[in-house]
Structure 1
Amino acid sequence: MSTDAIKRVPRVGQWLPEDHTLMRLWLQRLLDQIEEKRSYYNGTEPFVKVIQEFKELIETDPAIYMLFHQMFHQIPHKPEYDNDPTGKPQVRNYISMLECFNEIMTRAPAYQKDTGLVGFPLNAIIDWPMGTTSGFAAFLNEKVNAQFKKVLDYWGEFLKSPDSAYVLNDDPETGWFGEAAMSEELMQNFSSTYICDPGAQYYGFTSWDKFFIREFQDGARPIEQQDDDRFIINACESGPYSLQHNVKAMDRFWIKGQPYSVSHMLAQDPLADQFVGGTVYQAFLSALCYHRWHSPVNGTIVKIVQIPGTYYSEARIAGFDEAAPNESQGYITEVATRALVFIQADNKQIGLMCFMAVGMAEVSTCEVTVKEGDTVKKGGQLGMFHFGGSTHCLMFRKGVNVIFELPEKPGLNANIVHIHKAIAFVPNPGDAGRYGAMSRKEGLWYSDV
């Protein structure tokens, strides 16, 4: 693979720069800053507790120790993998990796005009090892993922602290309220779209996390077809990724095409059997999107399930490729950390459905804000993602005649669809007119008018 061939890589949700050279530039800056600190500390900066624990886990478990050695040796020895734009070697061993992790623990994600957002800093550090055979094994390991959760929880506490708000400034090139960041399509008209105070320090946000989970102004996202229970609205501000019908109980979700495997997605929950043969709609959130989840229907919360899982596992079928995280969107619905919210819809033609929030990479929390037995209105809050990349699914049972009307074919390049937008329809028996006759095209349901 030539350097030119990997120069630009589509990134789902823009969590990392599409130009891989920019990501390597960001990483080299991080390594240079760590090197500068060596003289101050007369050696390596002391690790915070969770990073020291990670080091001890690697060094005391022989299988993990082997994997974390081999994953770096298995990176192809080519300039595009070994070196930064200046020719210096980048992260080549687990100690260097942990030094980078340690540096991130007291940093908030900054916007940079030249690199955009490196919203997955830990992901950027292990971007190449993730694609190796040993990396695939290591990042599926339960002990490794348990430690990653501790690391991400630690970082999450910093992101909730006032110390993390320093990046919420109006510097033209590096501030989140500066000219460069505010020119992003999803950041335009910020003060009229989101609840904030432009006259206050940091726009009134007391931490990075408060900025990340910001809320809409009243009326910024009107609820379509609010009083018509036949319509299902978009549960997240998200881009359509996949729509599959007649999903199987168990399927080979790690292969090309990544078919959904209901039993694995729902972690063998007793309710899973009802969704075999049904429909799954998946969509991804952008780094700059609103990150709360809203109910797609009127109904009652039947059950809530939190499922621990992986953070940095990607589908091996994608190969050693920077685009592998993109090609793993379906795969992670079976293995990543996720939350299930089962809703009994008021519309009997829909009945029981499931909203599934899927955390990936730097997501450490899928926070559910409703409880079992709650009545929810269409557009009412279900929960939120705290900092990190994310995707979600809507799952419908076999026999539910759910007809999706999407603005474009789902895929990696799909545009963001506003939350509360009507995206699907379940006709009542005898419905005629516009929704009486539908045609199926390219595997998706569209109206024929």
Structure 2
Amino acid sequence: MTQHTPQIRSAQHIERRYRNSFGRAAGYLPKNRAALDAWLEQFSRDVHEKRARNAIVRRRSVDDLQQLIERDGVIRMYVSRMIEDAHAINADAKHTVRDIPDLLDHLDCVVTSTPRYYPKGDPDRNFFPLSSLFCYMMMTEPGYAVFRDKQFNRALLGILREWCTHLDSPDSRDVLNKEEHGWLSPAAKDEFKLEQFLIDWDDDHGGFPSYNAFFHRELLDGERPIAGKHDPRVVVSANDGRVVRIRRNIKRSDEFWAKGQRYSLHDMLDSSDLTDSFIGGDVLQSFLSGADYHRWHAPVTGIVRSARVVEALMFTELEGVWEPSSGTESQVYGASVNTRGLVFIEAPAPLGMVCVMPLGMTEISSVTLTVRPGDHVTKGDQLGYFSYGGSSMCLLFQKGAIEEFTVPDNPGDMESGHPIQVNSQVARAAAAPKRKA
């Protein structure tokens, strides 16, 4: 039998790969890789200590993943080799994931954890345990393969949903306090501009029943005024964030996995019957950081013709591109393969059909719709929200609907993207055709 030899990379290659990773560019991972390594060491040490005390409880979703790995030899091969290769990459670590049972124990511990707040500049700042746990594993060739496997992804989705249930529960509220590592601390209040949100500062937990309730907190009345409220030609942003890419003349099908930020309508819209109506049209994609407002609103006024969620991938990146633009490249790639919502709004001419496409990325990857087909929405009305985790947003327009975008395209890396806020103008529609006398 052929022995698997882990692919050893130079320290320079690993550092370059990490510095240009989507997770670091998006703020999911620490800017300094040494901080990631320190977090992984401490987390693994805690897991091993709990195991020694028989304090780890096997969760149902993790048990489902274990059964899949035991049942499917190909997945078992990929996961085993992924762990071996990740260990080779991070060979100096004293505490790390050693094998499949160890990985399962780590996942059991994540499912009941709640992220604490760390002020900017704190070397321990790390809000995303799964992104951190999977970081080195996702740098390996078997890691690329298994995180794209549909069965593995479905099992991983079950784990994320169980974690989301914990973050939706009162058990997750202990981090909602005004202490140094609390999400209502003075540092957090300043960083996340919490004075803009509906928070009960007299309550120990801010009036929130759970951590997720805090994460998708609501704005106070008067915040984020609607630009061009009565002007049908003004198209507004559906979300807070930064511009990822603006692309015009989009093709029905394209190589979304290739470098160059290519959008593929057939894949993005999940083979929808409405796909062909967007050929030659435009896409505006933006990215939400953890500090952004995580509800999203209607960019135009119209009738919701279709609204559904497409369950797809979560932890995956564009392969083989390790440049400063890698985070942006992975965002565009994710638009075709990640979990996403599809909300089609029929607006008056010349806009016609507009698609609002929220994307779940990493961690929870939760997309919740609050509208249904047949609903009339006015520009600025809420359409849905993201629970804890990463997220992105695409707005798709039909050919000829947009006269101009009023925000600049992203020149390269994600951090250079132009900041936008929900309800602010991002585009101007073409003039409506004149009626014949």
In structure 2, distance between residues paired with 1:407 and 1:115: 33
In structure 2, distance between residues paired with 1:422 and 1:323: 26
In structure 1, distance between residues paired with 2:380 and 2:115: 29
What is the SS of the residue equivalent to 1:306? strand
Partner of residue 444, structure 1:
none
1:48, 1:102 within 8 Å by CA — same for their partners in 2?
yes
1:276 to 271, 276, 279: 279
In structure 2, distance between residues paired with 1:47 and 1:123: 21
Q: 1:45 to 1:151 in 2, by over 3 A?
A: same
- Alpha-carbon distance, 1:33 to partner: 1.1
With 7-16 and 232-241 compared, the bigger mean Cα shift is at: 7-16
State the one-letter code of the partner of 2:330: S
- Alpha-carbon distance, 1:149 to partner: 1.4
- Alpha-carbon distance, 1:89 to partner: 4.5
Matched, 1:240 2:243: yes
State the one-letter code of the partner of 1:67: Y
In the TM superposition, what whole-angstrom CA distance separates every residue of 1:180-228 from its partner, at most 9, and x where no partner exists? 33342xx13x13x000111111111111011011000000111111110
In structure 2, distance between residues paired with 1:303 and 1:309: 18
Q: Percent identity?
A: 33
State the one-letter code of the partner of 1:341: V
1:12, 1:286 within 8 Å by CA — same for their partners in 2?
no
State the one-letter code of the partner of 1:243: I
What is the SS of the residue equivalent to 1:340? strand
Q: Which runs of 5+ in 1 are unaligned?
A: 432-449
Partner of residue 137, structure 1:
145
Q: 1:402 to 1:363 in 2, by over 3 A?
A: farther
Partner of residue 117, structure 2:
111
State the one-letter code of the partner of 1:170: K
In the TM superposition, what whole-angstrom CA distance separates every residue of 1:117-157 from its partner, at most 9, and x where no partner exists? 53331121011111222111111111111111111111111
What is the SS of the residue equivalent to 1:99? helix
Matched, 1:175 2:182: yes
Q: Which runs of 5+ in 2 are unaligned?
A: 1-10
What is the SS of the residue equivalent to 1:77? helix
1:73 to 61, 65, 84: 84
What is the SS of the residue equivalent to 1:59? helix
- Taking structure 2 as the reference length, the TM-score comes to 0.90
Matched, 1:293 2:300: no
In structure 2, distance between residues paired with 1:288 and 1:117: 14
2:307, 2:341 within 8 Å by CA — same for their partners in 1?
yes
In structure 2, distance between residues paired with 1:138 and 1:156: 22
What is the SS of the residue equivalent to 1:378? coil
In the TM superposition, what whole-angstrom CA distance separates every residue of 1:278-326 from its partner, at most 9, and x where no partner exists? 111100001111111100001110111321101112111336x999655
In structure 2, distance between residues paired with 1:258 and 1:5: 21
In structure 1, distance between residues paired with 2:325 and 2:406: 28
State the one-letter code of the partner of 1:360: M
Partner of residue 102, structure 1:
108
Q: 1:303 to 1:288 in 2, by over 3 A?
A: same
Mapping for residues 334-413 of structure 1, pairs under 5 Å: 334-346=336-348, 348-406=349-407, 409=410, 411=412, 412-413=414-415
In the TM superposition, what whole-angstrom CA distance separates every residue of 1:19-76 from its partner, at most 9, and x where no partner exists? 22212222222111112223321xx723211112211211221010011011123348
In the TM superposition, what whole-angstrom CA distance separates every residue of 1:387-440 from its partner, at most 9, and x where no partner exists? 110001000112223411115646411253111111100131589xxxxxxxxx
Matched, 1:427 2:435: no
- Alpha-carbon distance, 1:276 to partner: 1.3
2:332 to 321, 327, 330: 330
1:243, 1:410 within 8 Å by CA — same for their partners in 2?
no
1:9, 1:18 within 8 Å by CA — same for their partners in 2?
no
1:252, 1:258 within 8 Å by CA — same for their partners in 2?
no
1:363, 1:390 within 8 Å by CA — same for their partners in 2?
no
What is the SS of the residue equivalent to 1:332? helix
2:69, 2:76 within 8 Å by CA — same for their partners in 1?
yes
- Taking structure 1 as the reference length, the TM-score comes to 0.87
Partner of residue 8, structure 2:
none
- Alpha-carbon distance, 1:116 to partner: 6.1
- Alpha-carbon distance, 1:178 to partner: 1.8
2:234, 2:429 within 8 Å by CA — same for their partners in 1?
yes
1:63 to 69, 74, 99: 74
Partner of residue 223, structure 1:
226
Partner of residue 83, structure 1:
92
Mapping for residues 23-38 of structure 1, pairs under 5 Å: 23-38=36-51
1:159 to 161, 164, 167: 167
In the TM superposition, what whole-angstrom CA distance separates every residue of 1:91-124 from its partner, at most 9, and x where no partner exists? 2433322221111111111112424653331121
In structure 2, distance between residues paired with 1:118 and 1:248: 38
What is the SS of the residue equivalent to 1:314? coil
Q: 1:117 to 1:298 in 2, by over 3 A?
A: farther
- Alpha-carbon distance, 1:383 to partner: 0.6
Count of aligned positions: 417
State the one-letter code of the partner of 1:328: S
State the one-letter code of the partner of 1:103: C
Partner of residue 7, structure 2:
none
State the one-letter code of the partner of 1:164: S
In structure 1, distance between residues paired with 2:366 and 2:422: 21
What is the SS of the residue equivalent to 2:420? coil
